Every structure is written in C-alpha cells, then in structure tokens.
Structure 1
Amino acid sequence: MTITSDGWRERRDTPSLSEVFRTIAVPQGSSQFRRFLAFVGPGYLVAVGYMDPGNWATSLAGGAQFGYTLLFVALLSNVMAILLQSLCARLAVASGRDLAQACRDAFPRWVSYPLWLLAEAAIIATDLAEVIGTAIGLNLIFGIPLEIGIFITAADVFLILWLQNRGFRWVEAFVIALLGVITTCFVVQIAMADPDWGAVIAGFAPSTEIVTNPDMLYIALGIIGATVMPHNLYLHSGIVQTRSYGQDPAGKREALRLATWDSTVALMLALCINASILILAAAAFHASGNTEIVEIDQAYALLTPLLGSALAPTLFGVALLCCGLNATITATMAGQIVMEGFIAFRISPALRRLITRLLAIAPAMAVILVYGASETGKLLILSQVVLSFQLPFAIVPLVMFTASRAKMGDLVAPRWLTAVCALIAVTIIALNVNLLATVLLANA
C-alpha cells in the first residue's frame, strides 16, 4: 500500500458536499465576533442529531422508569459528543477530508467497504427514529394515523431541496429557528411540571446502579447511542468545509477554534433539551407512579391530567414534530457525505433521500401492522441501541486519524484529547460487550 507524502494512501481532489463547498465567506479584517458568526451553523445542524425522536424515546423511558438517575448519562454522553465533534472539525480543517473520505483514503477497500455498510446501517437506524417520531408528531397534533403519517414523512425531500437551492445558510437558519421553537416548548413544560430541583441536581452525579442494573444499562446505552450518533461524526466533518476560511496555518487554526466553539455551544443547548425531556418524564410520570411509559403517545395523553393544562401536550407534540423535521434534514446530508466519501458515488440528494427513507419506512410499517402502534416506542429505543453498537466503527478511525501527525500536520490532536477520546471508545465498547453478555446469559 503506497502512502503519499501527506500520510494518506490516496490523494483527495473531490471536496465534501461539492455543491456547497466553501460557499460561505469568512469576513477578513473584521472583528473576532463577526468571524465567529460566520462559523455559527454547522454545530446546530450537528446538535439536531442529539435531540431527535430517538432521544425522546430513551429519555422518556429513562425518566419514567428511573427518575432523575440517568441525568448523569445524559451529561456524560454530551461531554463525549463535544470532544468527538471537536475531533471531526479538526479532521476537516487539517486534512480537507470528511470522515468517510478519510476512511477511503487511509484504508484498503476490504476495510473501508465494511465501514461504509456499517455507516449506512447507522443512517437507516437514525432515519427509522425520525420516521416514527415525525409520524407520531403528525398524529398527536393533526390526528393523522401513523400508517399514513409514515408515508407523509417522505415528502420532506421537497423541503430539503427547496432550502438547499436557496443556499446553505437557509438550511442552517431553518434548523436554528426550529430549535428555538423546541426550546421554548420545553421551558414552558418544565415550568408546568415543577420538578424537584434538588433531585435533579443529584441526578447529575454518577451511580453504580447504572452499570449493575441491566434494565438501566439498556436505557443508558440507548441514551448514549441516541446522543453520540455515528452519522453526526460524518456530517460535521463535511459541513465544516462549507466555510471559506484561510488555508494558511493561521487561518486553519482560527477555523478550528471557531468551529469548535460553534459545536460546543450548540451541543450545550442539546444537553439542556435532552435533560428537559428526562426531567419532564421523571417529574410528571415517575413521581406519579407511571413508571412504564415507553411510548411517546402515552406520554402525550398523560400530560394533561398530570400537569393540569391542555397546553402541555400541544407543546409536546409541536416540539416532537420540529425535532423530526430537523433531523430529516441532517440525515439527508449525512447520507450524501457517507455515500460520496466511501465509494465516490454521487446521486441526486432527492433520490438518495427517498432510498434511505423507504428503507426506514419498511420496518416501521411492519411493526405497526404486526404489533400495532403501541410498539413503536420500543422500536425507537432499539434503533438507538443499534446506533450505540455502530459507534466504535466511526470513533476508532476518527481517533486514529486525528492522532497522526503525518495526516494532520501541526493540527494533530493533543495527546490528552486523543487519550480521552480513546477512553470514550473503550468505554462504549465495554458497555456494549457487557450488555450483550447480559442479554445472552439472561436468554441462556
């Protein structure tokens, strides 16, 4: 295998998302704040993946069953996400590659092709959560049956195309606007629920029960899988390159710093929303003895009698629908990045979106037809656990690439960051093995 002078097996000539590559100018000679604003956007697109309908299912189940205990897992997974997304920005700025392109350019085909298939499986699992979540949101607000709502979700292709045709900044503005709506909905609902704030603070402390209780560990893994999502690692390393930053060492260092701040601030917002879902479930359901809430529509129906306001379930449904719409936009781009990066195969975004969506609609429809709509929440949680099992196949290459001075040059990751992210990978792998062993022994 021939390695080029920059440490990669192959040179990279085709940029990620070529139709929007470096289309957003970074004003030179302006204030630091204005240059930072030029980088605001990609982090919020990434943050969408950390609060999609899959997060709702796992956070609702965790809060209802175990109260505030799993707030620590939400915090831990968010710290993991911040560190890993900083590596994605570093890879993009230093090498000019997204993670999929880096895998193709660094590994032989017998390694990169299985990684591509695993990445595609992760995106389908992600899209499955979005299909179900958006369909439930349509059902809660407009009374549309899930069987019909699932097919309506395929129409979001046209929304995405319309936004992309107007420019990448329009996509970012739409996503951020919906995030504002989601945040407002949860602020009002948390005020109505009036949680025990002392217990909330205690919930952010670690507990050994999370590892020793198989049921709690299953939900905890689902939260990690729903928070640190594999497709987000590919997405962030691609969309950072929509900024036209300086290609000299100083310009790249500034781009890395500002992109990291963008994603860190956005992911702190994602933590607030994820914690709000879990806190709402703990305050409204666990405290009243409704510990078996795993279905989103059940949660919706119980909010009125428990919180004493007809406004609460409406806000819940609106926030869920906004989350589903947001997540479909980012999943489309992630799918495009993965396909183009791993196998250098380009198809129209609309066709790519329809194929991915149909692959997600099939299992969702099968579950509804065979088991009924009441089982969709369990399918949501399962999809997030599947994502958790996919994580190491994205994290390990990311850590490897950003730790290589040959590949990264002066922007190679500091040793402490590489060590911490390697520990994150080992922890996720260990938790997955522990869960798998527990399930196998229980069924033996």
Structure 2
Amino acid sequence: MNNNQNQSLGNVHSSVTTENKTGWRKMMAFLGPAYLVSVGYMDPGNWATDIAGGSAFGYKLIWVLFASNLIALLLQSLSARLGIVRGLDLAQASKNAYPRFVNFWLYILAQIAIIACDLAEIIGMAIGLKLLFNLPLIWGVSLTITDTVLMLYLMNKGMRKLEGFIISMIFIVGLSFLIEMFIVQPNVVEIAKGFAPGNLTGESLYIAIGIIGATVMPHNLYLHSSLVQTRQITRTDEGIRSAIKFNLFDTVIALNLAFLVNAAILILAATAFFKNGYFQVAEIQDAYKLLEHIFGRIAPALFAIALIASGQSSTITGTLAGQIIMEGHINLRIEPWMRRLLTRLLAIVPAVLTIIYFGETALGNLLVLSQVVLSLQLGFAVIPLIHFTSDKKRMGNFAISLKVKILAWASALGIVSLNVKLVYEQIIDWIKEYPAADIWIYTLVIPIVIGIGILLLYVFIRPTMFKHKDRPAYVPHGIASAITELNAITYRHIAITIDFSKNDNDCLRHAIMQGGKQANYTLIHVVETAGARYYGKQVMDSETQSDADNLNKYVVAMENLGYKASAQIGYGSPAGSIAKIVNEENIDFIVMGSHGHKTFKDLIFGTTVNSVRHMVNIPVLIVKPQRA
C-alpha cells in the first residue's frame, strides 16, 4: 500500500514532480501551494475588516495590514519548512507532541476557526450573488451549499488543476481591484503616512485584531505545511534546502500579492467613503451602493465579481485545511464531500439565524466577528509551530536560527497580547452594558476564558518542559509485522454476488479460481423492489420470481460443469442482505462485482461493495467490469 495514504491529503502527496528541472522551470514546479494559502488572505472576511477600517479610520490602519502581512510571511515560511523537513503537517506534529485530551481541544478550537472562516465565505458569496443578480441573501446563503460539488470535482482532477482554478480566481480579484484603483484615484502621500504605526484602542483595536485574524489565518498554517508535501523532492540536505528556498519564493510572491489586494480594499474604502464623510461603512452592501453612487456602475460590478471569486476560492482551501486538521489531531478520516458538507452546514446555521432574527444588515458585523474569532485561535497554532521548527533534534540543520526565533516569538507575543487585551475589554464592556447578565458572565463566560487561557499556557510550556518527549509518530494502519512463512489458504465455501449483468461471468470465473471443484459456491442475488423491502421473503412479485429462475439457471450451469452450487435470494437493502446470508451460511470468501459507478453516481446509488466490506469479517474480492 502507498504510504501516502497514511497522511492527510495523502492522495496528492509527491504528485507534482520537481526533479530533472532547473532554473525557471524548477521554480515554476514549486509555485502553487502558497497561492492556495494566499486566497485565505483575501477572502470576504478580509473585505469586511478592510472596509470597516478604511471607512472609519482612513489610511491610518494600513500599518496594521502591513505588519500582519510580515507576520504572515514569517509564519507561513515556518509552516512550509515544517512540512518539507519533517514530512508532517502542523496537526500531525501536534498529535505527536501533545496528549490526546489536549489534541481534542486543539481540534475543536481549530474547527471553530474553520467554521468562522467558512462563515465569511458564505456571507461574501451570498452578498456577491445579491449584488449581481438581486438574489435574496437567504437564498444566496442556502445556494452556497452546492459548492461541495465543485470542490469534489476539482479534488478529483488533481492538485495542478486545483491550483490553476485558484490562481485564476486570484487573477480576477487582482484585476478587478487594479481597475478600481484607477477609478477612485487615491492620495499617494496620505497612503504613505498610513504606514506609520499608531495607538490602538476601542474600536480601532477591535478592527485591528479583525485585520490580524483575517490576514494571519490559523488554518492556513495547517494547510501550508501539508500542501508543500505535494512536491517530489530529493531527501538530501541539498534537496531539502532547495525546496525550502523555492517555497520561500512562492510564499513571498503569493502573500505580497494578497497584501496588495487587501491594501487596495482598505485604500478603496478610505478614498471612497472616509474622504466623502461615510465613516461607518462596515457593510459590504453599503460599500457597493456607495461605489455606484460615487463612481457609476462599473466599479460596483467589478467589486461584486471579485467578491464571488474570492469567496469561492477560499471555500476550497478551507475544506482542505479542515481535512488536514481532522486527520492530524484526532485521526478521523472521512470523505472530503462529507467533511465539506458538515463544515458548510455548521457555518450556514449562524448566517441564517442572523438574517432571520437581526436582518440582512447584521451580516457585516457577523463578518468582522468571524475574523476576530480567527485571531483568538491563532496562538494555538502559532506557538506549537515555533516550538516544532526550533527543535534542533527533529529539524537538524534546518531548525530556525536565533534571529528568526526571536522574530517569531515576538510575533506570537504581540498576537496573544492583543487578544488578551481585547477579551478583557470585551468582558468589562459586557458587565457594564448588561448588568442583568452578570450571573452568566461570571459562571459561564469567565470560566471558559480561564480554561482556554490555561490550555494556551500548557501548549506553550509542555514542549519546553518535556523537550524531545514526542510520542512515536502515529501510523493510521499500524506497523508492518515480520513475514516468516506464507502458506496457501484453501476456501471451502465461496459466495458470489449476481446482478444479471455482463459482470456475472467474470465474477464466477474469479470465484472458481479461488476454490476450484473442492469448494461449495453460493450464488447470491438481492431483490430491491418496494415489495421486497417491506415484505421480505413473503413477496412473490414477477421480478422476484424472474430473478429466482435466472439464478437457478446459473446454479444448473455450474453443476453441469462439475461445481457444487446453490442459490440464495436476499430482499431489500443489498449490503445488509448479502452480509446476512454470508454470516448465516458460514461463508469464508466472497466475490463481488463492482458496478463501475463514478463519483456522482456513488452519491446517488450508494456503494454496496464498501458497505459489505465493513459488515463482514471475511476476505472480499472485487471484480471490476471489463471495458469493451
């Protein structure tokens, strides 16, 4: 079995070759992972925080955006380094370093962050659809569930196709805002002044933390550490050093492009709204209307198109990150479409409830809140990442230098300090504004905050106190045992599933290859009519009688050839009926024909083979239909 299947996104690991390439071609082979990561830096959540910051404070928060981008560059480069050197993503490394109980809560917090991120994509897509097609927001939110199909399609097409789609979305966003800049004509001198740091308090602190959460996104650290493993590299010091260098180029280019897009949104808001006296534009819809009012119809149309593109691309990367986090932290592996659907449903609920109870105008505030939630979760991803990449025993010559370590810890301290300040100020505000809710704040909110604080402290202290005490790397399918002697297995009772298709002949041939003329053969066919599902053996409709007659013809044919055969009819659910017969008849081997359905038919018709495999404790041979 391919070892890649033991890893998160294992099906695409080492799927993009970089060998036998030099210069420009080699660099192009490494380009891609950071672009998938970068879409998270220009999703609808960024739009909300940038528009709120630009309209309320003009160009004054550009320095926050710039500082956030520098921190993101540093942390994403560490994430890539971890994946390249250790061949582990951040969630897998955490699984090895922390106890199971801690990993469970790290997973819960990371999942909340992904839901918050997905919430931003939902709202952004819904708003974009309303702006372009005047579709009610509640419909737009509901329609976003269908992007699971697009996600599934792109994943099946391979990593390069997925990257190509994402880069095309980035191009649409970037081009739209480049044209917007020509339309609004910002003041370059005022923009330059915005790069000077200033004091952050009250609303500016809240928006600044939202900008940080929207820029340095925790799930992107998990994602990047896995995506860099899609490139085949030579596992030598020179090969690893080369991979780190080219991935750094990839990161710098992609994230700086993301910064330019974010800066363009903030500058657009500052120029179009702040300068015209509109100081509280937190709603994307309001931004659209004001753009139309000030600059005509072209600017808002570009704005809406870019919004849809950014939401769709960010949705895909959020799904990938969710898969990595689930498999890495808690060793749970489910189908990508199911995981996507679960995350999307969990994100749709708060969006729908907000529209129903507070109206469409509250979605902008919900967007900003989602980005603040992302920022609050950052410490739980950043602190382990710095510990792992600083570990000289695990990273060898590729452990980060003292200078990089100081910068990384300073960034982590800055992020955590701002978050602590925000949480403290928010709790004080709640106590003042809602005196009747004091009991809930003291008995529920404060204990939860203290618990999260203790967890963060533990995440920081454990790798320092128990240095190099990592548990053995988890192997999902166990360790290969020693092989000493192999004896042939003789099967005495073999079952063959029959569906009266062209596949039956191949199934029968494969079955007799296993048992010869010494084995007993039981031919199984399941009647799936409505009557069979409800009445079981009592049913005697025309289809059941016809199927029984046809099955007996197969039995007679096999007996004429010298094989011992019998027939069994099942009723209702194919998988359950087959498993029941197998267990009752003491069958020790089963041969099944694969229906040959593709992905979407499997979703509609189900997968009998996989279901049976999980319901019986005997070997199952799957025979695929022969192509003409």
TM-score (normalised: structure 1):
0.95
1:217 counterpart = 2:205: yes
What residue in structure 1 maps to residue 437 of structure 2? none
Aligned residue identity for 1:61: A
- The question of whether the paired residues in 1 share the 8 Å contact of 2:4 and 2:11 is answered with no
Structure with the higher fraction of residues in strand conformation = 2
2: CA distance between counterparts of 1:439 and 1:181? 38
- The question of whether the paired residues in 1 share the 8 Å contact of 2:5 and 2:11 is answered with no
1: CA distance between counterparts of 2:425 and 2:319? 35
Change beyond 3 A, Cα 1:149–1:419: same
1:25 counterpart = 2:17: yes
Aligned residue identity for 1:341: G
CA drift of 1:261 comes to 1.1
1:376 counterpart = 2:363: yes
1: CA distance between counterparts of 2:398 and 2:104? 28
Report Cα offsets for 1:6-61 as digits up to 9, x if no partner: xxxxx999223111111000032x32211110011101000000010000000000
2: CA distance between counterparts of 1:198 and 1:311? 26
1: CA distance between counterparts of 2:394 and 2:145? 40
1:197-346 alignment, distance < 5 Å = 197-208=188-199, 211=200, 213-307=201-295, 309-346=296-333
- The question of whether the paired residues in 2 share the 8 Å contact of 1:15 and 1:96 is answered with no
Aligned residue identity for 1:104: K
> Which deviates further from its counterpart, 324-333 or 404-413?
404-413
- The question of whether the paired residues in 1 share the 8 Å contact of 2:4 and 2:13 is answered with no
What residue in structure 2 maps to residue 86 of structure 1? 77
What residue in structure 2 maps to residue 174 of structure 1? 165
- The question of whether the paired residues in 1 share the 8 Å contact of 2:76 and 2:251 is answered with yes
Report Cα offsets for 1:295-323 as digits up to 9, x if no partner: 0001001101212x210100000000000
What residue in structure 2 maps to residue 6 of structure 1? none
Report Cα offsets for 1:166-222 as digits up to 9, x if no partner: 1110000000011111111001111111111100111111112xx2x3110100000
1:363 counterpart = 2:354: no
- The question of whether the paired residues in 2 share the 8 Å contact of 1:16 and 1:97 is answered with no
Match of 1:388 among 375, 394, 401: 375
1:353 counterpart = 2:344: no
1: CA distance between counterparts of 2:391 and 2:208? 32
Change beyond 3 A, Cα 1:184–1:12: closer
2: CA distance between counterparts of 1:184 and 1:84? 27
SS of residue in 2 equivalent to 1:19: helix
CA drift of 1:158 comes to 0.9
2: CA distance between counterparts of 1:325 and 1:439? 32
What residue in structure 2 maps to residue 410 of structure 1? 397
CA drift of 1:81 comes to 0.2
Q: Which protein has the larger Cα radius of gyration, Structure 1 or Structure 2?
A: 2
1: CA distance between counterparts of 2:394 and 2:103? 17
CA drift of 1:437 comes to 2.1
Match of 1:37 among 28, 34, 55: 28
2: CA distance between counterparts of 1:403 and 1:161? 37
What residue in structure 1 maps to residue 96 of structure 2? 105
TM-score (normalised: structure 2):
0.67
- The question of whether the paired residues in 2 share the 8 Å contact of 1:22 and 1:242 is answered with yes
Aligned residue identity for 1:21: H
CA drift of 1:107 comes to 1.2
SS of residue in 1 equivalent to 2:6: coil
2: CA distance between counterparts of 1:292 and 1:106? 45
CA drift of 1:441 comes to 3.0
1:151-170 alignment, distance < 5 Å = 151-170=142-161
Report Cα offsets for 1:395-424 as digits up to 9, x if no partner: 000000000011211111111111111111
What residue in structure 1 maps to residue 507 of structure 2? none
Aligned residue identity for 2:300: P
2: CA distance between counterparts of 1:55 and 1:402? 28
Task: State the identity as a percent.
Answer: 47
What residue in structure 1 maps to residue 6 of structure 2? 14
2: CA distance between counterparts of 1:150 and 1:383? 16
Aligned residue identity for 2:317: T
2: CA distance between counterparts of 1:155 and 1:167? 20
- The question of whether the paired residues in 2 share the 8 Å contact of 1:12 and 1:105 is answered with no
SS of residue in 2 equivalent to 1:294: coil
1:123-202 alignment, distance < 5 Å = 123-202=114-193
2: CA distance between counterparts of 1:177 and 1:13? 29
* Structure 1: gaps spanning 5 or more residues: 1-10
- The question of whether the paired residues in 1 share the 8 Å contact of 2:19 and 2:232 is answered with no
2: CA distance between counterparts of 1:27 and 1:37? 12
Match of 1:74 among 65, 73, 80: 65
Aligned residue identity for 2:60: T
CA drift of 1:343 comes to 1.2
Aligned residue identity for 1:436: V
- The question of whether the paired residues in 2 share the 8 Å contact of 1:139 and 1:146 is answered with yes
2: CA distance between counterparts of 1:105 and 1:186? 43
SS of residue in 2 equivalent to 1:207: coil
Change beyond 3 A, Cα 1:323–1:13: closer
> Which deviates further from its counterpart, 252-261 or 352-361?
252-261
Change beyond 3 A, Cα 1:293–1:317: same
Aligned residue identity for 1:189: E
1:51-70 alignment, distance < 5 Å = 51-70=42-61
1: CA distance between counterparts of 2:179 and 2:410? 38
- The question of whether the paired residues in 1 share the 8 Å contact of 2:8 and 2:323 is answered with no
2: CA distance between counterparts of 1:442 and 1:371? 21
- The question of whether the paired residues in 1 share the 8 Å contact of 2:291 and 2:300 is answered with yes
What residue in structure 2 maps to residue 7 of structure 1? none
1: CA distance between counterparts of 2:172 and 2:185? 20
Aligned residue identity for 2:19: P
Aligned residue identity for 2:8: S
Aligned residue identity for 2:258: A
Aligned residues: 429
2: CA distance between counterparts of 1:300 and 1:344? 44
